[in-house]
């Protein structure tokens, strides 16, 4: 017999861990999660899981395979490694290991994918189509509705230069939004190519990379600040209503005008003739091929060319796309909010080459799951199943074996059910059933067991106070929601209720 840890650490949960010692018994702890983190329970959790299941099903339908990478990556691999700083933790959650190296919680799902592809290059298919749905962590200042842990749903195709792959991504995004419950007129997918703005920047001789980024960032703000705002951000800078000042890109009026004119162009032909540049030409050709691929699908009307789309500043280098909702979303104070996109992506080339001397082209899409969920809830588009059990009340402990017999019958039919396991009387049991949103309780005492009968009381889970101050007799009087049936009809009667 060899002494070895098989799944090792897991086993530790079963060993003795003096976790709860050393606590000062007088001082009570704060019962909050850390700021920026939340608990999920009941309907809120069911809604989210329902959405995840739908998205996963659709990703599978499109031929993607699931990957699960760990929460942690070597910090260097995350990419947000800042060598000047003592702790590479600005924006990420980083830990120093015993050997002084750093590991970090993943910041997105793309860096882990690049790392995985590099490591498994010889064993995976080419192209490699993977999806991952998982949490990511951002060590940023939390605020109302701004979390430090949230869920992303990503699909990527690695190793293909074929522009039909980009079309597939747009189709996937549109199809997934449909599948999750959005009507075709409730969203739009904006499509562009980073080569267009890069070509224009080249023609306008904006060569300094910091200035280029400021230009991209300015265009990216079109939705929020409008054309005039973008113009200010491209030139002298902009002050918002609160007095906050954003530094401008310091372009000349001519340069700014050219860019504003570009972002208002409506067709690829217009751009091609207005901006004579090799990059622009390539970009337009690529987009025409993407549009061909989209044309073959039924999503053509939802996908529109929009030159103002920018997305990840230093990340994408080909076709890019972004899904936006066409309806207004409100916050908890019933105020309309600027909602931003629910998903998007594009083509990127340099991720895998950071690890391996191969240059794999990739295209991917990311769906903001919590954000999409928020919008769907407002549209009342996600139904939740009631997973609450049938509750067998304990009217008299001497009938425990009878109650357990009923329980076995229910559970053998895979019906969610339980015997009340608290220490209180009937009133509390009914209150408990209400709080659990139980579809029904089973109320059996001497009368029932003597006559081989079962009493079932249907509960209206919307009426959370049904049990308040009701005696058992009063309960039984509300005949319309209560039935007494033969014991052998238990399963049939319960199945009618669930």
> Interaction with its own copies in 198-257: which residues (CB under 8 A)?
213, 216-217, 220, 224
**Residue 162, interface with its own copies (CB under 8 A)?**
yes
167: tokens are: 């079309």
> According to the binding rule CB under 8 A, does residue 340 interact with its own copies?
yes
Q: How far apart are CA 115 and CA 338, in angstroms?
A: 35
274 vs 329, beta carbon nearer its own copies = 329
Question: In the window 55-74, what residues touch its own copies (CB under 8 A)?
Answer: 57, 60-63, 65-74
DSSP type of residue 423: S
Q: Per CB under 8 A, which region of 150-158, 191-199, 257-265, 485-493 contacts its own copies?
A: 150-158
**Binding residues with its own copies: total (CB under 8 A):** 173
H helices within 386-481, ranges in order? 400-412, 426-435, 446-450, 472-477
Q: Which of 86, 210, 243, 335 binds its own copies (CB under 8 A)?
A: 335
Q: What is the DSSP letter of 462?
A: T
Query: Is there binding between residue 127 and its own copies (CB under 8 A)?
Result: yes
Q: Can you read off the two tokens belonging to residue 369?
A: 């799951």
Q: Does 191 engage in binding with its own copies (CB under 8 A)?
A: no
Task: State phi, psi for 395 to the nearest 5 degrees.
Answer: -80, -35
Site for its own copies in 458-487 (CB under 8 A): none
298 preceded by a cis bond (ω within 30 of 0) = no
Yes or no: say if 56 and 49 are a contact pair by the CB < 8 Å rule.
no
Encoding tokens for residue 55? 């998205």
Q: Considering only residues 23 through 62, tell me which ones interact with its own copies, judged by CB under 8 A.
A: 23, 25, 28-34, 36-42, 45-46, 49, 57, 60-62
Identify whether the C-beta of residue 317 lies closer than 8 Å to the C-beta of residue 348: yes
Q: Which residue matches tokens 């997305």?
A: 311
The one-character DSSP state at 461 is T
- Touching its own copies, residues 282-311 (CB under 8 A): 292-293, 296-298, 310-311
Residue 336 lies near its own copies (rule: CB under 8 A):
yes
Site string for its own copies, 424-463 (x = CB under 8 A): ----x---x--xx---------------------------
| Peptide bond between residue 127 and the one before it cis (omega within 30 degrees of 0) | yes
Among 14, 100, 380, 480, which residue interacts with its own copies (rule: CB under 8 A)?
A: 14
Tokens representing 210? 């910091």
418 binds its own copies (CB under 8 A): yes
Site string for its own copies, 396-415 (x = CB under 8 A): ----xx--xx--x--x--xx
Of 315, 379, 453, 497, the one binding its own copies by CB under 8 A: 315
Do residues 279 and 178 make contact, with C-beta atoms less than 8 angstroms apart? no
Task: List residues bridging with 155 in a β-sheet.
Answer: 131, 365
């Amino acid at each position: 017999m060899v002494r070895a840890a098989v799944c090792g650490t897991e086993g530790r949960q079963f060993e003795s861990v003096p976790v709860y010692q050393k606590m000062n018994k007088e001082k009570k702890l704060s019962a909050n999660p850390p700021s920026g983190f939340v608990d999920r329970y009941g309907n809120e959790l069911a809604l989210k899981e329902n959405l995840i299941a739908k998205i996963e099903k659709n990703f599978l339908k499109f031929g993607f395979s699931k990957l699960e990478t760990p929460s942690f990556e070597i910090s260097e691999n995350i990419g947000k490694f800042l060598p000047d700083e003592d702790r590479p933790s600005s924006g990420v959650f980083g830990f120093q290991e015993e050997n002084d190296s750093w590991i970090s919680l993943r910041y997105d799902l793309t860096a882990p994918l690049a790392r995985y592809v590099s490591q498994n290059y010889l064993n995976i298919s080419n192209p490699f189509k993977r999806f991952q749905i998982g949490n990511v962590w951002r060590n940023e200042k939390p605020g109302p509705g701004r979390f430090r842990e949230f869920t992303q749903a990503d699909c990527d195709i690695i190793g293909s230069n074929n522009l039909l792959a980009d079309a597939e991504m747009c189709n996937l995004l549109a199809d997934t939004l449909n599948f999750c419950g959005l009507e075709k007129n409730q969203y739009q997918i904006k499509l562009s190519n980073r080569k267009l703005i890069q070509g224009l920047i080249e023609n306008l001789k904006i060569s300094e990379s910091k200035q280029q980024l400021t230009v991209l960032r300015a265009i990216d703000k079109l939705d929020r600040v409008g054309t005039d705002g973008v113009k200010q951000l491209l030139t002298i800078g902009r002050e918002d209503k609160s007095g906050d000042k954003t530094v401008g890109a310091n372009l000349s009026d001519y340069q700014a005008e050219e860019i504003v004119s570009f972002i208002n162009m409506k067709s690829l032909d217009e751009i091609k003739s207005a901006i004579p540049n090799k990059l622009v030409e390539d970009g337009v050709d690529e987009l025409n091929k993407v549009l061909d691929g989209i044309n073959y699908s039924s999503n053509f009307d939802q996908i529109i060319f929009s030159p103002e789309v920018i997305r990840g500043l230093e990340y994408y280098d080909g076709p890019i796309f972004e899904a936006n909702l066409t309806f207004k979303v409100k916050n908890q104070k019933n105020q309309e909010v600027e909602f931003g996109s629910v998903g998007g992506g594009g083509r990127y080339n340099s991720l895998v080459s950071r690890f391996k001397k191969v240059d794999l082209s990739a295209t991917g899409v990311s769906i903001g799951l919590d954000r999409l969920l928020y919008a769907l809830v407002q549209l009342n588009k996600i139904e939740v199943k009631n997973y609450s059990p049938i509750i067998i009340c304990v009217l008299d402990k001497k009938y425990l074996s009878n109650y357990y017999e009923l329980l076995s019958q229910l559970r053998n039919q895979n019906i969610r059910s339980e015997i009340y396991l608290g220490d209180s009387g009937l009133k509390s049991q009914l209150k408990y059933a209400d709080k659990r949103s139980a579809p029904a309780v089973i109320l059996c005492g001497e009368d029932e067991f003597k006559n081989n009968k079962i009493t079932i009381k249907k509960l209206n889970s919307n009426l959370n106070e049904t049990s308040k101050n009701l005696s058992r007799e009063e309960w039984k009087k509300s005949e319309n929601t209560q039935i007494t049936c033969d014991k052998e009809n238990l399963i049939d009667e319960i199945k009618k209720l669930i």
